[in-house]
């Protein structure tokens, strides 16, 4: 039976592990709502994780690292935009190419710069994000039941965790309460109608792709400077693909994306904590517990969570009628 302290620890870990998934999921949300499918989330996260750690180590400033990581991710996003929007290439192939490019280049550059087998040196002090204590966390922690939720679960995370949580209502507002969001969603459904209204389809899609790059940059930077203290080879570990599964699970909506990503984070937290679990007197293999998020990804992509309808113009380059 799980006690309350254990519950708080698992929930706290779930939030930490859900943060990169949530940022990447929101990144995919903007891109796919505009009609540009992006399976290159994994590659952009990986590139951002490396450049964030590398520049944070060299400069001694985590903020310099964050800027470098976001810049690297946005460069890859721009490449994806040029390939799929400007040159009307296959969006899936472009995304796969970005994943391969990032996986190879990060290790190659890391080895050339630091000579540590494709990893960066450990980050300490101002070179990595430090926990942020929310106001009155210590005082409110004395309140039974609800107090520990605030002081031990909500408080004590790094800044990017709170950025990710705030990005959910911000994304909802931008997409569903602004003219830009209305046009962005319209481009993903009927780009010809948007073009007829005199709005640039290309401009809107590039804006969405660059927003996607920025959010992936934040996700990657969090992996290497917030969740961990350095970059290691393939440290994104499939999180970009899990974020895509969460996006489908959430049916391309921000608030549902939050719930889906926390669910994936919870499964990963449970897998990390209960590696020696016994059920009916039998030991559950460690590998099975660690595979829970990936199993759920396969289940979702196999279509067992109900019908999820993507934007109608998604994946198709827009060719202006003459």
Per-residue pLDDT of the chain (322 residues; tens, 9 = 90+): 467 888 888 999 999 999 999 999 999 999 999 999 999 999 999 999 999 999 999 999 999 999 999 999 999 999 999 999 999 999 999 999 999 999 999 999 999 999 988 899 999 999 999 999 998 888 888 888 788 888 888 999 999 999 999 999 999 999 999 999 999 999 999 999 999 888 999 999 999 999 999 999 999 999 999 999 999 999 998 999 999 989 998 999 999 999 999 988 988 888 887 766 656 556 667 677 777 778 877 777 776 666 778 888 888 888 876 5
CA distance 287 to 150: 33
Burial of 197 (0-12, 13-18, 19+ CB in 10 A): exposed
Q: Is residue 306 part of a domain?
A: no
Q: Is residue 102 part of a domain?
A: yes
The owner of tokens 């990390």 is 272
CA distance 41 to 49: 12
Enumerate residues 6+ apart whose C-beta is below 8 A from 93. none
Alpha carbon dihedral 100, 105, 108, 113, in 10-degree steps, equals -160
Among left, alpha and beta (phi > 0; psi -120 to 50; other), residue 223 is alpha
Q: Is residue 204 part of a domain?
A: yes
Q: Is residue 32 part of a domain?
A: yes
Residues 82 and 28 sit within 8 Å (Cβ to Cβ): no
Q: Is residue 319 part of a domain?
A: no
Q: Is residue 59 part of a domain?
A: yes
Q: Is residue 44 part of a domain?
A: yes
Count of domains observed in the chain: 1
Domain that holds residue 231: 8-236
Residues 191 and 201 sit within 8 Å (Cβ to Cβ): yes
Enumerate residues 6+ apart whose C-beta is below 8 A from 143. none
Which among 32, 10, 20 has a CA at the least distance from the CA of 208? 32
Q: Is residue 54 part of a domain?
A: yes
């Amino acid at each position: 039976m799980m006690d309350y302290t254990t519950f708080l620890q698992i929930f706290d870990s779930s939030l930490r592990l859900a943060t990169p998934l949530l940022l990447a999921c929101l990144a995919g949300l903007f891109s796919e709502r505009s009609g540009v499918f992006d399976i290159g989330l994994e590659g952009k996260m990986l590139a951002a994780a490396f450049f964030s750690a590398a520049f944070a180590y060299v400069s001694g400033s985590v903020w310099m690292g964050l800027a470098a990581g976001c810049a690297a991710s946005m460069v890859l996003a721009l490449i994806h935009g040029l390939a799929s929007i400007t040159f009307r290439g296959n969006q899936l192939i472009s995304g796969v190419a970005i994943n391969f490019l990032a996986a190879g280049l990060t290790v190659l550059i890391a080895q050339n710069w630091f000579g540590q087998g494709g990893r960066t040196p450990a980050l300490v002090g101002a070179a990595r994000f430090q926990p942020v204590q929310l106001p009155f966390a210590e005082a409110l922690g004395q309140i039974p039941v609800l107090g520990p939720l605030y002081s031990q679960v909500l408080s004590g995370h790094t800044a990017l965790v709170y950025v990710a949580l705030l990005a959910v209502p911000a994304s909802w507002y931008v997409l569903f309460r602004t003219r830009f969001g209305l046009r962005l969603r319209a481009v993903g459904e009927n780009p010809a109608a948007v073009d007829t209204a005199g709005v640039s389809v290309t401009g809107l899609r590039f804006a969405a792709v660059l927003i996607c790059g920025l959010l992936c940059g934040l996700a990657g930077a969090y992996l290497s400077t917030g969740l961990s203290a350095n970059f290691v080879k393939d440290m994104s570990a499939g999180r970009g693909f899990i974020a895509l599964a969460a996006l489908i699970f959430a049916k391309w909506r921000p608030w549902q994306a939050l719930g889906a990503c926390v669910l994936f984070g919870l499964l990963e937290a449970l897998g990390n904590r209960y590696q020696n679990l016994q059920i009916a007197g039998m030991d559950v293999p460690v590998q099975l517990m660690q595979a829970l998020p990936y199993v759920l990804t396969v289940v979702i992509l196999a279509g067992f969570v109900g019908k999820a309808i993507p934007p109608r113009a998604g994946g198709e380059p827009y060719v202006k009628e003459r």
